[in-house]
Structure 1
Amino acid sequence: MVIWIILLLMTAAAVMAVLWPLSRHRALTAEQLDPDTQFYREQIAEIERDRERGVLLASEAEAAKVEAGRRLLRSTGMTADTFAALGEPALRRRRAASALALSVIPIIALALYGAYGSPQLLTHPPKEQAEGQRGSLDLMTAVSQIEAHLAQNPQDGRGWEVVAPVYIRMGRIEDAVKAYEAAVRYLGPSPDRLANYGEVMVLAKDGLVSSEAQRVFEQAVALDSTSPKARYYLAVAAEQDGQFDKAKRAYGELLAASPEGAPWANVVRQRLEGLGAEQSVAGAQENAPQLGADDIARMVSGLAERLETRGGSPDEWARLIRSYAVLGQRDKAKAAVERARQVLAQDDDGVRTIDAMAREMKLIDAGP
């Protein structure tokens, strides 16, 4: 609110700077308009004295005063019309200029502020703005310092482990994958470290538990059979592979072993509800898109329709296949693989991309 008061006062000052000169009334006379006025006035007075002394006849004196008056008008560049213009018309012009200044100046000021200013900053208190900016700068500075340190000491596993979750927070998922991979390499495998590494691999694949990620989770469970994160993603992998009975059993065991108030318990319950306690394998597969992902299912359907009618790149076909796998629709994923191979038959690199995706999701047997 204070900033708007300041802007209002600044606008009022600008308007007054324009209106003040226009509002001053000047009694414009011949004496004010030309410095020669005094000379011609004295000349006329001298002519009048000569007439009184008898030096000039009355007619001669009158003619001399008329000539002096003409010279006065010529020297000032004014006529009778000029003096008339200093009256009511000038007043009307001043009023018009005043109205224009009152309306145009504030409008121009607001337009310029909207175009080049930062009105959105007024939606947050200055203290919150300062704290948010300081937090962002501190985070960026810290990350830069860690990266500079790791560039000089690439075998510092602890540094990689510290920066990995920061990368996730910043949305740099691929960098987080590399950081966790380096942490595991230099610090050695541990249940939590492997579970975090596998989780970020899943994030990088848009929710798909790839074969590589599954192996990481299995290694974590081998080191600690109670690792909740690794057990959860192994259950998700079974669900995506179409092994719904195995997935339900794994979810149930994880839920039973979870302490009261465990943060992952609600997510596990939703997965179980999506599969259904009495649901058959076929029914589970049919209803898999209802696992709280209706919007995703509609987008996948739209992508499939577009690729079928207008075609698409290998990456788009791979995205469709991955989406079907994440939703648990393995039959559709396999059908999309076959359809992509047909459409991309003339594109050897594209076919290799589709085959690699299908092997990664265990839709086809791994080649030699």
Structure 2
Amino acid sequence: MVIWVILMAMTALAVMAVLWPLSRHYAVSGQTDPNTQFYREQIAEIERDRERGALLPNEAEAAKAEAGRRLLRANSMKDVETFAVGEPALRRRRAVSTLALSVLPIVALAVYGAYGSPHLLSEPPGAQLQRQADKTDFGSAITQIETHLAKNPQDGRGWDVLAPVYLRMGRTDDAIKAYESALRYLGRDAVRLANYGEALVIARDGMVSAEAQAAFQEALDLDKSSAKARLYLARAAEQDGQIEKAKSEYQAILSASPPDAPWVSLVREQIARLDGKQPATAEAAEPQPSTDAIARMVSGLAARLETQGGSAEEWARLMRSYTVLGQRDKAVAAAKRARAALTQDEAGLRTIDAMAQELRLTDATP
């Protein structure tokens, strides 16, 4: 706020410096008037003519009297002109001065607000420059790490640092590759495997693929307390249609977690949803049966497999999910489409046949 007061004061001073001389009312009484000077010279000339004898005394007096009357008449006309012309001009100058002092600063501030950068004044000096520098430094740091890894691809620590950054930037495919490199050069520990699996899930729009499920299971084998791995494995069970198993997994996570763990509220909501109850955080929401949630996930999986294809494990999961929902005809149709999509994959065909036998989809048996 202080800067605005200073700017307005400076503007007012600049305007005053220009307009002050124009608004002053100079006294003219002390100045020599041209008419007065002319008539004084005329009277002096008459006096000289009288002294030389060119004019008689009475003629000289008459001439001086006439000159005096002209002088009085000229002074009277001057006063009228001063009042008639000078005063309005003075009033106009004062009006212009007042207008300039009040309007110009407002116009200047409005133009500055529209085309300038007033937000700079709301921040501490150098704050925006520092923020821009931070962004530049971040981008430069990423570029430097990428350049370093291009020359030293075996630097697992660099890949491990870069992977989560890629994930936050939305570069999911790059994050997956970075995690794979980190796992290759640094080893397969539980945290790194869980993060790698999470990147795979994000890439699949929330679907826990067989590859992601394997990563989570390996992470859990290495660390039984890995909450992230257990959460995603519970989701995988739910996506497979194994609702009771998913609920059991969520309950086990909740029992083993401290009350203030950040994932506790999420787990409770999942349990409430699978029980067909409304979440505690949205008591006014209409309850939705758990089968509806499963149906939506199965529909999404089916649409993706139809348009983009997928692995044999994902087709097998779709078959199982249809069976859980009681839609055996769709499970049979999914098995047939899977065989058509995996014609060149002998191992994949064996997986589909094994799932068809397990689910007793006799109509789907080749």
Structure 1 partner of 2:6: 6
Q: Which residue type is aligned with residue 47 of structure 2?
A: E
Structure 1 partner of 2:242: 243
Pair 1:118–1:139, CA change in 2 (3 A) = same
RMSD in angstroms over aligned alpha carbons?
4.7
CA contact (8 A) 1:271 1:291 kept: no
Q: Secondary structure at the match of 2:212?
A: helix
Q: Distance in 1 between matches of 2:305 and 2:22?
A: 80
Q: Distance in 2 between matches of 1:4 and 1:330?
A: 61
Q: Secondary structure at the match of 1:207?
A: coil
Q: Which residue type is aligned with residue 269 of structure 2?
A: Q
Q: Distance in 1 between matches of 2:311 and 2:18?
A: 72
Give the drift of 1:195.
0.7
Pair 1:274–1:142, CA change in 2 (3 A) = same
Pair 1:200–1:3, CA change in 2 (3 A) = farther
Of 120-129 and 57-66, deviating more is 57-66
Structure 2 partner of 1:21: 21
Does 1:233 pair with 2:211? no
Unaligned ranges ≥5, structure 2: 70-77, 319-333, 343-366
CA contact (8 A) 2:43 2:67 kept: no
- What fraction of aligned residue pairs are identical, expressed as a percent? 51
Q: Secondary structure at the match of 2:179?
A: helix
Give the drift of 1:123.
4.9
Structure 1 partner of 2:322: none
Q: How does 1:157-306 map to 2 (within 5 A)?
A: 157-258=156-257, 261-275=260-274, 279=275, 283=276
Of 356-365 and 266-275, deviating more is 356-365
Pair 1:97–1:163, CA change in 2 (3 A) = same
Q: How does 1:116-131 map to 2 (within 5 A)?
A: 116-121=115-120, 123-126=122-125
Give the drift of 1:238.
2.0
Q: Secondary structure at the match of 2:196?
A: helix
Q: Distance in 2 between matches of 1:264 and 1:23?
A: 76
Q: Distance in 2 between matches of 1:62 and 1:183?
A: 119
CA contact (8 A) 2:209 2:314 kept: yes
Give the drift of 1:5.
3.2
Q: Secondary structure at the match of 1:26?
A: coil
Q: Distance in 1 between matches of 2:300 and 2:253?
A: 33
Give the drift of 1:111.
1.1
Give the drift of 1:156.
2.0
Q: Distance in 2 between matches of 1:328 and 1:179?
A: 37
Q: Distance in 2 between matches of 1:355 and 1:13?
A: 75
Structure 2 partner of 1:347: none
Structure 2 partner of 1:319: none
Q: How does 1:323-342 map to 2 (within 5 A)?
A: 329-332=293-296
Q: Distance in 2 between matches of 1:221 and 1:332?
A: 28
CA contact (8 A) 1:195 1:230 kept: yes
Pair 1:353–1:335, CA change in 2 (3 A) = closer
Give the drift of 1:160.
1.4
The TM-score normalised by the length of structure 1 is 0.63
Q: Distance in 2 between matches of 1:328 and 1:126?
A: 56
CA contact (8 A) 2:159 2:178 kept: yes
Give the drift of 1:44.
5.2
Q: Secondary structure at the match of 1:105?
A: helix
C-alpha distance after superposition, 1:225-253 (max 9, x if no partner) = 44221111111222233321111111122
Aligned to 2:307, which of 322, 343, 353? 353
CA contact (8 A) 1:239 1:328 kept: no
Structure 1 partner of 2:107: 108
Does 1:51 pair with 2:46? yes
Unaligned ranges ≥5, structure 1: 67-78, 298-324, 341-349
Q: Distance in 1 between matches of 2:84 and 2:149?
A: 82
Q: Which residue type is aligned with residue 49 of structure 1?
A: A
Q: Which residue type is aligned with residue 353 of structure 1?
A: T
Q: Which residue type is aligned with residue 23 of structure 2?
A: S
Give the drift of 1:217.
1.8
Pair 1:250–1:240, CA change in 2 (3 A) = same
Give the drift of 1:159.
0.6
* Count of residues paired in the alignment: 307
Does 1:140 pair with 2:139? yes
Q: Distance in 2 between matches of 1:328 and 1:215?
A: 27
CA contact (8 A) 1:194 1:220 kept: yes
